[in-house]
Amino acid sequence: MLSLFSGIFKVQQPTERGFGWADVIVLAIVISLIYAGVRLAIDTPDQIAGPTISLAPEALPYYAIRSVGRMAAAYALSLIFALVYGRVAAYHHRAEQILMPLLDVLQSVPILSFLPVVLLSLSAVLPQAAAAELASIVLIFTSQAWNLVFVWYQSLTTIPNELNEASTTFRFGTWLRFRTLELPFAAIGLLWNSMMSWAGGWFFLMAAEIFTVGEKDFRLPGLGAYLQEAANQQDYRAIAWGVATLLLVIILLDQLVWRPLLAWADRFKLEMVESDNPPTSWFYNLLQSTRITTWLGQRVYRPISEALDMALGRFGQPATNPEATVRQRRPWPAYLLALALGLAVVYGLEQAGELLAQVPASQWMEIALGVATTLARVLIALGIALAWTIPVGVLIGTKPRAAAVLQPIVQIAASVPATALFPVLLLFLLQQPGGLNIAAVMLMLMGTQWYLLFNIIAGATAIPQDLKFTTTLLGLHRLERWRTLILPALFPYIITGAITASGGAWNASIVAEHFHFGGETHHVTGIGALIAAATASGDFPLLLAATLSMILVVVLINRLFWRRLYRRAEEQFRME
């Protein structure tokens, strides 16, 4: 029995890569960019007027459209970025040495601490309205893109060798390989992570729409600003209208977008036996039965697809070895650009060093203590999340009847911003011993557990039906089935989810460790609380020091722990 599945999951000795020169270069570039943003933020005007938010129920459809529009723009940008970035990292070894460490840095940057830098920087060069809109899209993009890149990269690096060899035999170019092999193979993982990205985007959309810094008001017309204004005025009727509208939007998106896409993507499962109970969608069935859909497919989609195949099929060399890196001579402008970037990085490092020199030793001690305590909360939240998401994710991914009931509930629960439920928890937890620390862990858990759950569901859904039948024919009991099939198949998805979930937990610490409730400010010891306090007080040296400390710790953890597990997932648990 073990030999059967060792043939399915390719076993090799994994190659481990530690913290190297690429990480140092990436960190230097990021420090320079953060300093540039902080410098622009310092030079912005002291007072900026904000918009008036109406609490009339008839304003909610307009606010909902504005919020969904921002989410859609950020998601489209995230998907394009993920497809390009992940493919380059997966197929070009030299680029991977830079791009994957950079991805570790980017997904570990505390988004909510960087929001004031982005907003104030953009407001220094753009009109306020344009700066706020663009900053909100950038913020949502940074909450959606990284897990899409990780799952796309993971899919490309785990394509079975026989499929790679088939694409080579048929001499597929870059476009045909992408359309007929890579995208279909990654479709299920990309779809579930898209749902997670969209759900996580609500959390940061709410934060972007209600953002203020001192006298600078960057609020945007949307559901987040509506709910905050209703809470400030203690208008419970308006709060009920806002929450109901948010839930209605989430349900409509689930029924009209995500469920049909899940039913459509089931065709891309890698299996020789069709599932007995494939996912279904009433709206997808409706679209299939309409004449206009058939007409659009024949008259619009097919001609466009064929034209793209003819035009783009000519570009890109046949993939004789997809992972081979093609060496090309670098023209002299590239060296000049590299020199200019290097000088800019050196200047940014020098200026950032001067800003960091203003941080006293006592604050550095606070930062060290804050990093340690926040790390403990992240580990606790991740452990709790793993304990319940693995069994529930497998149940939803392997039992269609359970999925029909639980999947919409999970999608809605994941889409409701954790900050909207947090005040309810605080009412109870503030009266308990250690309530603030429990509240901090709970908010971090509420904001990150869905990354794990959606990845595990995607992994369980992608397990071929014929392998499930094989375990039944062999008479494997439940423990053996989990040990030889389910856990090996889920391992790459668990690691992908854990990386993004841990990064999200560090980001959520900014909200979880420092919050306003009942007219009072509550905080616990942690790096997130330091970042939030520095943002509120405009202490830019402390903000830079705390942010960079968090980034450095998260990158070290990713490189020394998660990245090694990621490499093992690529090489040892390859389904083929």
Residue 17 confidence class, pLDDT cut points 50, 70, 90? very low
C-alpha 257/C-alpha 575 separation (Å) is 29
Residue 113 has pLDDT above 90, yes or no: no
Pairwise pLDDT comparison (458 vs 294), residue with the higher score:
458
More confidently predicted of 123 and 148 = 148
So what's the pLDDT on residue 380? Answer: 94
pLDDT in tens, 192-251: 889 878 877 877 777 677 766 555 666 788 888 888 788 777 788 888 898 889 888 988
| pLDDT at residue 173, rounded to an integer | 81
Return the higher-pLDDT residue of 19 and 477: 477
Q: Which residue has the higher pLDDT, 538 or 190?
A: 190
> What per-residue confidence (pLDDT) applies to 10?
38
Q: What is the dihedral of CA 442, 444, 445, 448, to 10 degrees?
A: 160
What pLDDT is stored for residue 313 in this prediction? 66
Q: Does the CA dihedral 411-413-416-419 come out positive or negative?
A: negative
Average pLDDT across the chain, whole number: 77
Q: What is the DSSP letter of 559?
A: I
If you average pLDDT over residues 426-452, what whole number do you get?
A: 79
DSSP assignment letter at 57: G
Structure tokens at 105: 């840095």
With 0-12 CB in 10 A as exposed, 13-18 as middle and 19+ as buried, what is 324? exposed
Beta-strand pair 216-217/514-517: unpaired
What pLDDT sits at residue 83?
93
pLDDT of residue 367: 92
Buried b / exposed e along 77-97 (16+ C-beta atoms within 10 A): bbbebbbebbbebbbbeeebb
Pairing of strands 212-213, 9-10: unpaired
CA 560, CA 18: separation in Å to the nearest integer? 6
Three-state secondary-structure class, residue 455: helix
**Distance (Å, rounded) from C-alpha 46 to C-alpha 89?**
42
| 411 Cβ contact partners less than 8 Å away, ≥ 6 residues apart | 195, 199, 250, 254, 258
Between β-strands 212-213 and 216-217, what pairing exists: parallel, antiparallel or unpaired? antiparallel
- Mind giving me the DSSP string for 215-284? TEE---SSHHHHHHHHHHTT-HHHHHHHHHHHHHHHHHHIIIIIHHHHHHHGGG---SS--SS----HHH
Q: What does the block give as tokens for 238? A: 């308006």
Is the pLDDT confidence value at 322 over 50? Answer: no
What is the model's pLDDT at position 30? Answer: 62
Is the per-residue pLDDT at 11 higher than 60?
Answer: no
Identify the band that residue 384 occupies on the pLDDT scale cut at 50, 70 and 90: very high
Cβ atoms of residues 572 and 117 within 8 Å: no
Q: Which residue has the higher pLDDT, 280 or 9?
A: 280
Q: Which DSSP category does 59 fall into?
A: G
Largest CA distance in the chain: 72
List all residues 6 or more positions away from 164 whose beta carbon is below 8 Å from its beta carbon.
Answer: 181, 319, 322
Collapsing DSSP to helix, strand or coil, 48 comes out as strand
Query: Residue 359's pLDDT is what?
Result: 87
pLDDT of residue 12: 38
State the helix-helix crossing angle for 93-108 and 128-157, rounded to 10 degrees.
130
Segment among 37-41, 277-281, 430-434, 496-500 with least mean pLDDT: 37-41
State mean pLDDT over 469-477: 83
pLDDT of 175 above 50? yes
Q: Under 8 Å CB-to-CB from 307, ≥6 apart: which residues?
A: none
When pLDDT is averaged across residues 400-427 and rounded to a whole number, the result is: 73
Computed from CA positions of residues 26, 31, 32, 33, in that sequence, does the dihedral angle turn out positive or negative? positive
Q: What is the pLDDT of residues 28-84, one digit of tens each?
A: 666 766 666 666 555 544 444 456 788 888 889 899 999 999 999 999 999 999 999
Distance between CA atoms of residues 254 and 547, nearest Å: 36
- Taking alpha carbons only, the member of 136, 258, 196 closest to residue 499 is 196
Q: What share of the chain is helix, strand, coil (3-state, %, to 5)?
A: 80, 5, 20
Residues of the chain with pLDDT > 90, as a percent, come to 10
Indicate the domain borders of the chain. 21-280+359-575, 281-315
- Percent of the chain exceeding pLDDT 70 equals 77
Contacts of 539 (CB under 8 A, 6+ apart): 533
> Is 390's pLDDT higher than 90?
yes
Distance CA 203, CA 209 (A): 10
How far apart are alpha carbons 451 and 454 in whole angstroms? 6
Residues 324-342 pLDDT 10s: 444 444 556 666 766 777 7
Comparing 135-144, 303-312, 453-462, which segment has the lowest mean pLDDT? 303-312
At position 108, the amino acid (one-letter code) is S
Closest CA to 250 of 190, 288, 200, 193: 200
Q: What pLDDT is stored for residue 450 in this prediction?
A: 86
